[in-house]
């Protein structure tokens, strides 16, 4: 019997897993990732929990509080973002400030764990799960800074890194589909939207039933199919627009550069042509939509200020 496809995890987080009846699915996933038993107390509202697809089509955020009063952000990201690392840094900082009341001491700062499920290749590395935390090492003796006994009591933490945000990056496309442990079983599901017979990871058995497409009410099944169609469509539009912009911008930029080079000299012409090529690519990317100024600047080597000037110019035409 072929394995039945289940709904994708990001759609499920938004539609199904926010119910307290399904907390054990999320608890299972987080327990396998964090290697400790996680109990979810509540799901918290976030500015990024928006229902409209045009507001946040390619991301789904879920913010929960666990039994240790820690905040866990779960985010799914499909499209490449060159500044994604900076964005998750900003997200954790924002969560910290949102949950520190005016007048509270700094010891009340919430611990934040950022879990990122990525369907694109971020950075360079051969692994498919990366963990980042903060520690302080002596520059002379290379010892690791520890908490004092009074700090352990005040913070209710044993190690310095437990005070600071932690990050988990799960690069789904880098997984080879060979489940070697219970976390891999979850990653297999996140990649293939199905659960193999014999998988025993926490939460997966419940997920197999709750996330079965065939068991969804008809209106939710139709909504899910529309979501999947839109996801494929948006990915195709972005890829096509970006490729066309690069090719056309390169062609026009090189042509203009050659003509300019005849007039002012080969060296200056090539330089000007490269700049115009970058401008052409930036204009096409702005027209396609889906990228912010910082991302476009990184792709074209133009400055963010130049991108914003182009954006304002195009909007005023």
Sorted by where each begins, the domain ranges of the chain are 9-216, 220-316
Do the strands 71-77 and 59-66 form a parallel or antiparallel pair, or are they unpaired? antiparallel
Per-residue tens of pLDDT for the chain, all 317 residues: 456 678 888 888 888 888 888 899 999 999 999 999 999 999 987 654 444 444 444 455 799 999 999 999 999 888 777 889 999 999 999 999 999 988 999 888 999 999 999 988 888 899 999 999 999 999 999 999 999 999 999 888 999 999 999 999 999 999 999 999 999 999 999 999 888 988 999 999 999 888 887 567 777 767 766 766 665 545 565 556 555 565 666 666 666 655 665 565 555 656 666 777 778 777 877 777 767 777 777 777 788 888 888 878 776 65
- pLDDT score at 55: 43
CA nearest neighbour of 206 among 3, 6, 1, 2: 6
Q: 106 by DSSP, 3-state: which?
A: helix
In whole angstroms, give the CA distance from residue 201 to residue 208: 11
Whether the predicted model's global pTM rises above the 0.75 cut: no
What pLDDT score was predicted for residue 52?
Answer: 45
pLDDT on residue 1? 47
User: How many angstroms separate the CA atoms of 55 and 53, rounded?
Assistant: 5
User: CA nearest 293: which of 284, 303, 278?
Assistant: 303
Rounded Cα distance, 279 and 293, in Å: 13
Structure confidence at residue 150 (pLDDT): 93
Locus of tokens 């290749």: 121
Lookup: tokens for 2 = 């072929």
pLDDT at 36: 94
Q: How far apart are CA 264 and CA 256, in angstroms?
A: 12
Q: Are 8 and 223 in contact (CB under 8 A)?
A: no
Please give the pLDDT value at position 267.
58
User: 209: exposed, middle or buried (C-beta count within 10 Å: 0-12, 13-18, 19+)?
Assistant: exposed
C-alpha to C-alpha distance for 114 and 104, rounded to whole angstroms: 23
């Amino acid at each position: 019997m072929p394995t039945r496809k289940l709904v994708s995890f990001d759609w499920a987080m938004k539609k199904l897993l926010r119910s307290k009846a399904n907390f054990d699915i999320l608890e299972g996933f987080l327990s396998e990732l964090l290697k400790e038993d996680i109990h979810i107390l509540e799901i918290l509202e976030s500015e990024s929990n928006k229902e409209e697809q045009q507001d946040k089509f390619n991301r789904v955020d879920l913010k929960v509080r666990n039994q240790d009063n820690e905040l866990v952000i779960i985010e799914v990201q499909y499209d490449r973002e060159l500044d994604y690392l900076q964005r998750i840094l900003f997200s954790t900082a924002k969560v910290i400030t949102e949950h520190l009341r005016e007048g509270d001491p700094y010891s009340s700062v919430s611990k934040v764990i950022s879990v990122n499920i990525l369907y694109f290749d971020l950075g360079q590395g051969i692994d498919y799960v990366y963990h980042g935390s903060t520690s302080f090492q002596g520059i002379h003796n290379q010892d690791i800074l520890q908490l004092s006994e009074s700090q352990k009591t005040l913070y209710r933490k044993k190690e310095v890194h437990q005070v600071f945000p932690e990050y988990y990056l799960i690069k789904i496309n880098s997984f080879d589909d060979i489940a070697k442990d219970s976390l891999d079983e979850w990653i297999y599901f996140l990649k293939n939207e199905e659960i193999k017979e014999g998988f025993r990871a926490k939460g997966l058995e419940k997920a197999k039933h709750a996330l079965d497409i065939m068991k969804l009410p008809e209106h939710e099944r139709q909504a899910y199919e529309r979501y999947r169609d839109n996801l494929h469509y948006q990915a195709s539009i972005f890829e096509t627009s970006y490729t066309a912009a690069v090719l056309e911008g390169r062609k026009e930029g090189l042509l203009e550069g050659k003509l300019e080079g005849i007039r002012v000299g080969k060296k200056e012409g090539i330089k000007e042509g490269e700049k115009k090529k970058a401008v052409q690519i930036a204009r096409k990317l702005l027209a396609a939509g889906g990228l912010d100024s910082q991302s476009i600047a990184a792709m074209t080597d133009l400055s963010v200020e130049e991108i914003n000037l182009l954006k304002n110019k195009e909007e005023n035409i």
